[in-house]
Amino acid sequence: MNASTVEHTADVSQLVFRSRVVQILAVETAVLYGVLAIFVDIHPLWVRLVLGFLALSAAVVALAVRGRTIATHMPGRILIVAAMVCVSFVAYAITNQGLPVIASFSVLSLTMAVTVLDTYRMGIILSAFGYLLALSVIISRGANPLAACLVFLGLAVTSSFLLIRQRQFLEQARDTALNLALTDSLTGLLNRRGMEVQVPLLDSVSRRTGQQLACILLDLDHFKAINDQFGHAVGDDVLRATSATIVRTMREADVAVRTGGEEFAVFCLVLGQSDMMALAERLREQLEHQATHPQTTVSIGAAIGSGADSAAISALSARADTALYAAKQGGRNTIRSA
């Protein structure tokens, strides 16, 4: 899963969610206006006809977005604003003083849909517009405007707070799930999926700055013997200590990955071969002297290349892996470059 795949999946999920919310809103609007037009005694008659037309239009919108994805917020915004204005207009036109209050609370339900459907900034703007419309209707047409305003404001504040908190919770849960999908649970480093997301970003920086992208591949020497002699719990401690040492040694912009088993990779921006080898040597020295029991060393293979996409990353990693094999063949605890 590369960066474009992750972004595409997130975009598709957002579009599907947006479409479902617009469909639900359209169905709710159709039912609300239909009930008002058919079952509520509203005068003059033309107001009921307008409500019936709005109910039919909303039903058509609900059918039109069924099974489709909406690529922009604009249809939902138009539907909501049109519904707000029409409901407020109808509330001004009807003669029964109790119905404007009911209409105002239907505007409140529309503002709640805005909070869920739209972005924060535009959601706040449209919600404020809806609140002002509803309050103006209550104050000018309600039989008891003060009581209705207090109830309305109480519901508006409470429901807005709950929806905003729920949205924040869902976004946090989404970010946590994404983080778990892209990181290694034992060491906290990126896994291969995370590598395919982050390395292309680092590669784009290298192209803008004129630097080169390097892959430094590290493999713990004789790690299988550690697991066999001391157990997997000790082996896990060694892996966690190794990852912590790598993070402390590498530079802030570098990307550290646990590629699998006892193998790690550091993708970094370098000025050339000597810069890459200097960082590899720092990593080797720090890992050789890290405070673990039993003591461990690493063999390192390094290469410079491209990381623009998953294929390029695989090719770069393969070259670094060839150099790593040469380091192991050369006696371990040493560095080779491709």
Given the DSSP bridges, would you call strands 298-305 and 335-337 parallel, antiparallel or unpaired? parallel
Query: By C-alpha distance, which of 204, 313, 325 is closest to 269?
Result: 204
**DSSP secondary structure letter of residue 214:** E
Query: Looking at the DSSP assignment, which residues form a beta bridge with residue 214?
Result: 268, 304
Query: Looking at the DSSP assignment, which residues form a beta bridge with residue 263?
Result: 219, 260
Query: Looking at the DSSP assignment, which residues form a beta bridge with residue 260?
Result: 263
What token pair was written down for 99?
């119905």
d(CA 276, CA 270): 6
Residues taking part in catalysis: 262
In three-state secondary structure terms, 250 is coil
What token pair was written down for 155?
């519901």
In three-state secondary structure terms, 236 is helix
d(CA 226, CA 231): 7
In three-state secondary structure terms, 215 is strand
Cis peptide before 44 (omega within 30 of 0): yes
3-state helix/strand/coil string of 250-265: CCCCCEEEEEECCEEE
State the burial class of residue 26 (Cβ atoms within 10 Å of its Cβ: 0-12, 13-18, 19+): buried
